[in-house]
Structure 1
Amino acid sequence: MNYNDKQLIAYGGFGKIYKIPNNKSSKWYALKEIDINSVIEKYLKESPHQQRKYTVDLSIRDKIYLSLINEALIMKQLNHINIVKLINYNIIKNNDKDSSEKLCITMEYSSFGSLYQLIKSFKHQNGIPEFITCGITCQLLDGINYLSNKSIIHGDIKASNILIFNNGIIKICDFGLSFQWDDQNNDDYNDDHNRNNNKRLQKIVMNGSAYWLAPEIILHKMASPKSDIWSLGATIIEMLTGIPPFGNFNPLIACHKVGIGEKINYPINISNNCKEFLNMCFEFQPTIRARAKTLLNTKWILSGNRKVLQYVDGLYDNEEEGEEDMMDNDKRTILEEFKEKDDSFSDWIDDDFSSLSLTTKNIYETIDSITLDELKKLTIARKPVDIQSLHKDNKFTVHFIHTIETQNIKRCVELFRIGQEYLRKYPTELETICLKGFLFLISCSNRDKTVPYTFMEEVIAVVVDTLGTKGSEWLSIVGIT
């Protein structure tokens, strides 16, 4: 393998994804490259404990380090047709003078992309037909059952983590959130969750993807192989409709709906066997939810055709029997032009302010009618009279919600900056803008690097200090901490 002749194809949560040639054959491999030091420093910098200058245990660095290589250690154990195969992994040091390290995980390469891409190709039908969905699910279930038998929880089953290979083979990938389930009975694990001495209870953090999370994870109870079954059900809904359950809501509201057991709507045109299968996936109590091995014997799966995508080559206009990647010119251009943006808050804000004077006595009362440049000149409302001006007639919150709905991220940044002390004083108003999608909006913008770290630190501090544990959970759900 030639690591120098690599082609960038995607960005992951922790690093970059390349395709690299195998010099001994015409095959390609996928290479996930993670800058270990950058991830550790980013985690420590964004940690609320680090912000408040608490003493950070040095062992935290070791734990983060181990969590990064966990993906490779999990994959090393796996050998199944429906699981992406690990080729090798290694840790590379740049040079003697530079102490930075990169974790390189080499895996099978999919020339046909992810299941998510296939779903989007059916956008004119608002989802994949049921018979194709069923055939794909048969293969997914085979892979999940294999993981369950090895007491491994994937933790992030969704369409974008499922790849399509030649002859329509479906393979589960991205084991970055996976872990070994602490159960000694691989064949038929004990469902008794309530014993005080149950050593199988797992310490769960709010990782994973919000729309696919099982209720027990959202409620911080425990995770088991049955958590992947819920995520499988959510992925089936994603295939059938184009979006996961509650996908038309922001992640906080979606998690709330799952956490309180709100009924998931199914497409009206699916078969009764499919509905029965989904009901078994979406049992709220994991003790009642079906195991993978049980689902393999349902009518819907027994009627499915695992080879439904065997002529997948015909779905894509690829050269050399699909060995060329699916990225179009627009996507390639975006990746090639991607550059790290300056995280300086002062550089990010436009310095070309207008000369309009802001000397109005109750300027905070008219905050909804002034321009972005005028907002930038306002200081944080700290005086009681200024805070009460923001609170008058609930105008500030109403305008903030309208700004969120229009996805005007720059105005949202200024409103939060100006009103942060007001939001600390009135936590119900902070809850309202969070539930209306503020955290989700800035989380997306943070991933796109359109908001600076300094602003994210302000948000984390206000939300955690004001809303406590609930605020921390909300931040975790949208992927901010």
Structure 2
Amino acid sequence: MVSWVRGKCIGRGSFGTVNVAVDRFNGDVFAVKSVDRNAALCHHMPAIQVECLENEIRILRSLSSPYIVKYLGDDVSYESPTTSSSCRNLYLEYLPGGNVSDLATTLNAYADENTLRSHTYCIVSALKYLHSRNIVHCDVKGKNVLVGPNSSFVKLADFGAAGEATVSDTRGVKILPRGSPLWMAPEVVRGESQGPESDVWSLGCTIIEMVTGKPAWEDFGANTLSRIGFSDELPRFPTQLSELGRDFLDKCLRREPGERWSCDQLLKHPFLQSVSPSDANTVAESSPRCVLDWVNSEFEEEGTSDDEKLEASARERMGKLAGSSGAIWEPNGWVAVRGGDDEVVEGGTRRQYLNSVSSSASTEGGRGGIGGGDERNGHLQNENV
């Protein structure tokens, strides 16, 4: 039985792909992160992709915070009627505003420091929740912070590298660093530890990225890693940031992990005290429930029937889901998905997804999804280790 339709790809990275999807029964819009399981049997690298996705599913399933992208379910789908090719899928709420990295580079959104403070407050709140559960995100950066329908509200996403907090081994055993090198803390680059303090360093690098539109460190390959891990240098603080903002950065970007402020302390910093926490329920209710929630009166044309207007308007609005370009999905851009009705996969089932859609629709009035992937360009900044 076909339950949902895969739409246009809105993100592609080392983990696999992210697509917008629509539930065929009720028109709910969500996002699906997928990895081809058959490719994992033939190549070594895709096997890591499956492992990361399973890790993300396991962690997100246990979380519930308004500041973290919402888990909706997971399954295995069969998307070619002539082969046994299958995809491992993770279903997430759809957040239509893109990510903060794009906001910084294309819209200069953080020229207004109030927006910077609001988004920073959300990120710190997400990290506080994770750290209280002994979970470290390990890959905090602009592309992994997604913007909701309310532009002052963001959520932390992409938990493929996340894990339990680690500490230095007394025998000097090194850890395997996880995350994106230009956002890594010095102790992570050195392979010593990766704990909540490491996320706080990455937060500081992300704030610099939001203000400048560029990573906190210039990418010079191994030389940059050496500077991060083994020098006394700090990233350059943006001059356009206020004195309070620079002081906040100072509390995040200290080379000694024990000297960095905790998220509890950061939330009490004067830089964030002026921020009023957003009402998470209000934000959720403003998310698009289905493709027809995307109103676009400018698409209506004179001389067309009501049915033609409805069809054309719906197609235009579905195209809007892919981003600000207004692309229209042609019929051959859709893929019908076959799923084993109650196949159990690592504790998750296709039925679980369908049930979550029905129950959430009655209580939240909204559905969204993850807004983008991790494009791999440059030497270091977008490489996941």
User: What TM-score, normalized by structure 1, do the two folds share?
Assistant: 0.56
1:227 aligns with 2:198: yes
Q: CA deviation at 1:215?
A: 0.8
- Tell me which residue corresponds to 1:113: 98
Q: Is residue 7–residue 21 contact of structure 2 (8 Å, CA) maintained in 1? A: yes
Encode CA deviations 1:308-351: one digit per residue, 9 max, x unaligned. 9x99x9xxxx9528983253559889xx99xxxxxxxxxxxxxx
- Tell me which residue corresponds to 1:215: 186
1:170 aligns with 2:171: no
Supply the AA of the counterpart residue of 2:19: Y
- Tell me which residue corresponds to 1:90: 75
Select which of 224, 233, 243 maps to 2:214: 243
User: How many angstroms apart in 2 are the aligned matches of 1:274 and 1:75?
Assistant: 31
Cα 1:97–1:268, aligned 2, differ >3 Å: closer, same or farther?
closer
SS in 2 for 1:19: strand
Select which of 124, 129, 139 maps to 1:146: 129
Cα 1:27–1:116, aligned 2, differ >3 Å: closer, same or farther?
farther
1:157 aligns with 2:140: yes
Supply the AA of the counterpart residue of 1:161: N
Greater Cα offset, 76-85 or 28-37: 28-37
Q: Is residue 376–residue 382 contact of structure 2 (8 Å, CA) maintained in 1? A: no
- Tell me which residue corresponds to 2:339: none
Q: Which runs of 5+ in 1 are unaligned?
A: 46-60, 183-192, 338-445, 449-474
Q: Is residue 35–residue 49 contact of structure 2 (8 Å, CA) maintained in 1? A: no
Alignment of 1:33-182 (within 5 A): 33-39=34-40, 41-43=42-44, 65-92=50-77, 100-123=85-108, 127-168=110-151, 169-181=153-165
Alignment of 1:1-400 (within 5 A): 2-39=3-40, 41-43=42-44, 65-92=50-77, 100-123=85-108, 127-168=110-151, 169-181=153-165, 196=170, 203-205=175-177, 207-247=178-218, 249-259=219-229, 260-306=231-277, 319-320=294-295, 324-325=320-321, 327-329=323-325
Q: CA deviation at 1:86?
A: 0.7
Larger radius of gyration: 1
User: How many angstroms apart in 2 are the aligned matches of 1:96 and 1:28?
Assistant: 24
Q: Is residue 184–residue 198 contact of structure 2 (8 Å, CA) maintained in 1? A: yes
Q: Which runs of 5+ in 2 are unaligned?
A: 287-292, 297-316, 334-374
User: How many angstroms apart in 2 are the aligned matches of 1:256 and 1:100?
Assistant: 43
SS in 1 for 2:202: helix
Q: Is residue 96–residue 323 contact of structure 2 (8 Å, CA) maintained in 1? A: no
Q: CA deviation at 1:20?
A: 0.9
Supply the AA of the counterpart residue of 1:9: I
- Tell me which residue corresponds to 1:384: none
Q: CA deviation at 1:267?
A: 1.6
- Computed over aligned residues only, the root mean square deviation of the Cα atoms, in angstroms, reads 3.6
Encode CA deviations 1:385-408: one digit per residue, 9 max, x unaligned. xxxxxxxxxxxxxxxxxxxxxxxx
SS in 2 for 1:144: helix
Q: Which has the higher contact order (CA 8 A, sep 6+)?
A: 2
User: How many angstroms apart in 1 are the aligned matches of 2:381 and 2:119?
Assistant: 28
Judging by fraction of residues, say which structure has more strand: 2
User: How many angstroms apart in 2 are the aligned matches of 1:202 and 1:79?
Assistant: 32
- Tell me which residue corresponds to 1:51: none
Supply the AA of the counterpart residue of 2:70: K
Aligned residues: 307
Q: CA deviation at 1:137?
A: 0.3
Percent of pairs with identical residues: 23
